[in-house]
Structure 1
């Protein structure tokens, strides 16, 4: 037993030194065992940092996890971000910096944004500890190489064929070659077995794509026919330990599809500048999720908004969100230095001018301009300002009480539907309205929300549409036909008060006024309906007050006042920088033969981006704009354009972007700036579809992979099965080979 257990001393005669050493050794064994077990249990590939400057040594992980970690990094590839401007270091008073063209021919080279240093990808994964100072020693593994004035040392690190670096590269290649694994040697596989396995895996990939992309996965007609003819036989004869139906196998396949999809998006970005659209929301399991969307202009001149990923954030502070954004961008070799715009919904933790997310990013990149989502901006501004006017505030108060009383129970909602049904039936019989597909749908009153786009406008439209039915239901409540069953006698008085309010001209005028004001934001342009002018009686005493005509009250005190307050608030909510930025961008509009063109404003727009337009570029832009506008107005291809998005596509298709590169850059910057966060909102709708009540325990990585394939289904469907299968095979050591 002494071989396995350490006895506790029973007498005081035992040597204290010996006892302490025994206890120390025992605690060391226990700590080592518990530490090893803890690392093995808590190990998660999702938490592995992409930045080489933030990675822990491979030796710090449990030995059983080494190959899994190496495979993860090998399939992901080295971290090679392309920054617009790398940080400057001075050597002998001369500025030097890392250059992105050093990546060419050096697949092993990595760059750490965190440490501003270069690292070796393969030496980190497979480097030995006994190499001494060969090839820079630990410099390219832990410390980082920063001698930008001695680029030749990058090549000297590689060394000869038998150098430590070359051996590390060879180990990396061997790890991804399944044919050399001992498990592959022990399991003999014939050519027919390989062919059957390929057919089986190919069919599984198509099935998974079909389920995630909802029928848009099948692409090649001949390819699907090839495996459909023999798939039943292959599935029946497949080994029981390789059916490819285990949940982990399916998750690996989805991860392979999602990984290739995100790489295709990054490739389409082509190291260009971009904007980010960010928002956070809770999923079904009450976990705060942050969604990030990229907005950029691709090589064809098309505006693209792509889902990059969704990240679980334990804290929604601005600093936590910034760290999560940087980690997600770094994972895809992107950097904040190429950021040219930020788009949020206006939450305080994002738009605060002192410690908000936009401020933290602007401190690092002055060209990453923040634009409040226009849809949220208009919604919040119009509603908030309208409520500052006493008459309009009273109007919304009555509407809120009306929704509560009429829609407070299922019985009253049923009564409202019945009353509306009778009204529609009478209108159809009298020819007031017509029937047809999509007409006369069942509607109801919904409580408006300050942050829900168009919710106030929708409530007002429904109220106008169902006004007669609402009055009928309120009259029913007033005569106790429903109240007696519900036992809510206190609502009889409230119903009577609401009827008096909504039948007044004051309420009807405000109803249509707000319908038109909010309708402008919904691009409906509905004119204010004229109503018969009834007598206006103020709620206050008329004694010692100046008598006012109805026309003065409704035109000056109500209509003009509300409109002026809206305009003032909109001017206050847009900063001076953003206003100037948007006004300058409007000069790029090609409508009506470029009537909005203003060279001085466009030059001012270029000065907003000093990292993209240097001093000499500004001078060249002046001359280029003169030639550009003369060419555009005399070219028939550009006379009927209706927007900046059509302009940039036409510039690319006619190759004019090569003739006017600075103007093209200016147009790209204008289109890259985000306007609305609608894409992020749609991503959260997709999240509710993917992670619902029946799948509320879905992990973050699994949900992110499913969302990537589901949201970006057009990109996912463009990736061939062979690429996905190779990625799947390289993720782990598989029982069978392709």
Structure 2
């Protein structure tokens, strides 16, 4: 009874306490509305991976970053936020405004912890999971371990969740294993429920005795190691170039040299690609050193512009208005340009790119990945009987020389000594030489590498 009387006395209209309560509730509503707008801006920037901070934190400055900049834009159409910024903005350290970088970072951390807790709950509900780990340096040259969990939801869908970047100092398998165990403990996940681990083919990750996968298997023998399928396919391409024949390496060096020659000058770039209607994907591309399948874009651009490049390079080499180095480089590139390699590699790289994109899908299953590798292998084997097709397509390109380069060169005669046989050595030339020593070698190397990765 006394409690009711006391409550009615402090909440009654006209009392001092009632005014204080109303003022307190008004303050709560005000800061809640501010937080709604601040959280909305943080969510917007985070979803799109945009930077928050600028060169300064001064309201009204064009260099104050995306966070304050977006709030200022919203305030132009939101009287409440405009009044808040005018009243509380730029008051300095010690005053509450919810606009500083300190509160922004605090909210980001709280939102991140909430997301991690939600992901951990999903994994715990699924019980069994797999881990995908890879290390990569950031712009500050700090090496970070990327953690991704893969599991099956209660609806039966395959789900991949990125959870964290963890800075590392040591790349040994044991150190990486300790880092993985620490992360699992922070998510309250039991290593006994882990059923799979997927990494690249580096020895510190995939090593059978001292790699990360070996150390985790000691803790749980049921954790099966599966090499990253997309990375394995990338290694197939890299090894096929490095370990096959010089002609294969020279072709990719030529593509990079062509791009460097055209991109090294806006004047030369306009000469080759001065058509305003030309699509961006049809301009020459720089070769990627990490994603071999991305070279399909470079080969596509070369094939699409081959006739034009073949026509322009000789004109640049003979143009007295160009620098001597430019004329020499254009002449050298023109002499190395062969359309047969371009047609052949474009066909292979296009198929590799499609396979690589399929292997990187989040819902990719192990058996599907194996079938993709086997299908790619069968397709590559079938190319061995299509040399005539590639040769015909290459010769049909306007302006292409109809003869092979070595057919136009004089054959060097080697002196025969008295203790040597007088029988002539068998030497291949022209079409036969290219088919046997380049075309077939590349096919055989690709098949060999694909077999090795499928077995793994």
- For the 8 Å contact 1:317–1:349, the answer to whether it is kept is yes
Looking at structure 1, the residues matched to 98 and 329 of structure 2 have their Cα atoms a distance apart, in angstroms, of 64
How far residue 259 of structure 1 moved from its aligned partner, in angstroms, is 1.2
Asked whether the equivalents of residues 343 and 394 of structure 2 are also in contact (C-alpha less than 8 Å), the reply is no
Specify the SS of the correspondent of 1:522: helix
The reply to whether residue 567 of structure 1 matches residue 422 of structure 2 is no
Shift of 1:319: 2.8
Residue 385 of structure 1 corresponds to: 240
Q: Aligned partners of 2:109 and 2:403: how far apart in 1?
A: 70
| Match of residue 41, structure 2, among 210, 227, 250 | 210
Tell me if the contact between 2:237 and 2:292 (Cα under 8 Å) persists in the aligned partners: no
Counterpart residue number, 2:116: 262
Counterpart of 1:400 in structure 2 is 256
In the alignment, is residue 532 of structure 1 matched against residue 395 of structure 2? Answer: yes
- Rate the CA distance shift 1:417–1:356 in 2: closer, same or farther, 3 A: farther
Q: 1:531 to 1:253 in 2, by over 3 A?
A: closer
Alignment of 1:104-503 (within 5 A): 190=21, 192-194=23-25, 196-214=27-45, 241-269=95-123, 270=125, 272-387=127-242, 388-407=244-263, 409=264, 411=265, 413-421=266-274, 424=275, 440-441=279-280, 444-479=283-318, 481=320, 483-484=322-323, 489-490=324-325, 492-502=327-337
**1:405–1:251 CA distance, 2 compared to 1 (3 A):** closer
Structure 1 residue 451 displacement after superposition? 1.3
1:443 to partner: Cα distance: 5.0
TM-score by length of 1: 0.43
Distance 1:406 1:216, change over 3 A: closer
CA distance in 2, matches of 1:320, 1:216: 32
- 1:622-657 residue CA offsets vs partner (Å, 9 max, x unmatched): xxxxxxxxxxxxxxxxxxxxxxxxxxxxxxxxxxxx
Residues 479, 555 of structure 1: CA spacing in aligned structure 2 closer, same or farther, 3 A cutoff? closer
Distance in 2 (CA, whole Å) between partners of 1:442 and 1:414 is 20
What is the aligned residue count?
354
Q: Is the 8 A contact 1:475 1:495 kept in 2?
A: yes
Cα distance in 2 between the residues matched to 1:232 and 1:402? 55
Cα deviation digits, residues 576-630 of structure 1 (max 9, x gap): xx5xxxxxxxxxxxxxxxxxxxxxxxxxxxxxxxxxxxxxxxxxxxxxxxxxxxx
Q: Distance in 1 between matches of 2:426 and 2:271?
A: 47
3-state SS of 2:133 partner = strand
SS at 1:277's partner residue?
strand
Cα distance change on mapping 1:540 and 1:290 into 2, 3 Å: farther
- Does the 8 Å contact 2:204/2:211 carry over to 1? yes
The CA deviation at 1:455 is 2.9
1:401-447 Cα deviation digits (max 9, x unpaired)? 3334343x2x2x432333322xx47xxxxxxxxx6xxx633754333
Q: 1:404 to 1:243 in 2, by over 3 A?
A: closer
**Aligned mates of 2:292, 2:248 — CA distance in 1:** 19
Q: Are the structure 2 counterparts of residues 382 and 453 from structure 1 closer, same or farther at C-alpha, using a change threshold of 3 Å?
A: closer
**Which of 481, 493, 515 is matched with 2:346 structurally?**
515
- Once the two structures are TM-superposed, the CA of residue 473 in structure 1 deviates from its matched residue by 4.8
Q: CA deviation at 1:310?
A: 1.0
Distance 1:554 1:237, change over 3 A: closer
- Report the Cα distance in structure 2 between the residues aligned to 1:532 and 1:353, rounded to whole angstroms: 50
Matching of residues 577-596 of structure 1 within 5 Å: 578=456
**Long gaps (5+) in structure 2:** 1-18, 49-77, 356-378, 397-401, 414-423
Distance across 2 between alignment mates of 1:255 and 1:215: 12
Residue 481 (structure 1) shift: 4.8
Report the secondary structure of 2:354's partner residue.
coil
Q: Per the alignment, in what secondary structure is the counterpart of residue 319 of structure 1?
A: helix
Q: How big is each residue's C-alpha offset from its partner over 1:14-49, in whole Å with a ceiling of 9 and x where there is no partner? A: xxxxxxxxxxxxxxxxxxxxxxxxxxxxxxxxxxxx
Q: 1:356 to 1:216 in 2, by over 3 A?
A: closer
- CA, structure 1 residues 236+440, in 2 after alignment: closer, same or farther (shift >3 Å)? closer
**Take 1:215 and 1:389, find their aligned partners in 2: how far apart are those partners?**
47
Map residues 69-84 of structure 1 onto 2, 5 A cutoff. Answer: none
Asked if the contact 2:262–2:272 (Cα under 8 Å) also holds between the matched residues in 1, the reply is: no
| Contact in 1 for aligned 2:150/2:160 (Cα 8 Å) | yes
Does the Cα contact within 8 Å between 1:200 and 1:231 map onto a contact in 2?
Answer: no
- Using CA pairs under 8 Å that are at least 6 residues apart, name the structure with larger relative contact order, 1 or 2: 1
Where does residue 51 of structure 2 map in the other structure?
none
- Structure 1 gaps of 5+ residues are 1-187, 218-227, 426-434, 579-738
Does residue 546 of the first structure (1) align with residue 426 of the second (2)? Answer: yes
CA separation in 2, counterparts of 1:268 and 1:476? 64
* Equivalent position SS for 1:523: helix
2:204–2:212 contact (8 Å) kept in structure 1: yes
Structure-2 separation of matches of 1:405 and 1:234: 56
Offset at residue 358 of structure 1 (A): 2.3
**How does the TM-score come out when normalised to structure 2?**
0.66
Contact map agreement 1:478 1:493 (CA 8 A) in 2? yes
Corresponding residue SS for 2:161: strand
How far apart are the structure 1 equivalents of 2:189 and 2:208?
A: 25
In 1, Cα distance between the equivalents of 2:351 and 2:158?
A: 25
Distance 1:508 1:483 in 2: 26
Q: CA separation of 1:552/1:463 partners in 2, compared to 1, >3 Å: closer, same or farther?
A: same
- Aligned mates of 1:362, 1:542 — CA distance in 2: 60
Shift of 1:386: 3.2
Q: Aligned to 1:531, what secondary structure does the other structure show?
A: helix
Cα offset for 1:194? 3.9
Residue 331 of structure 1 deviates from its aligned partner by 0.9
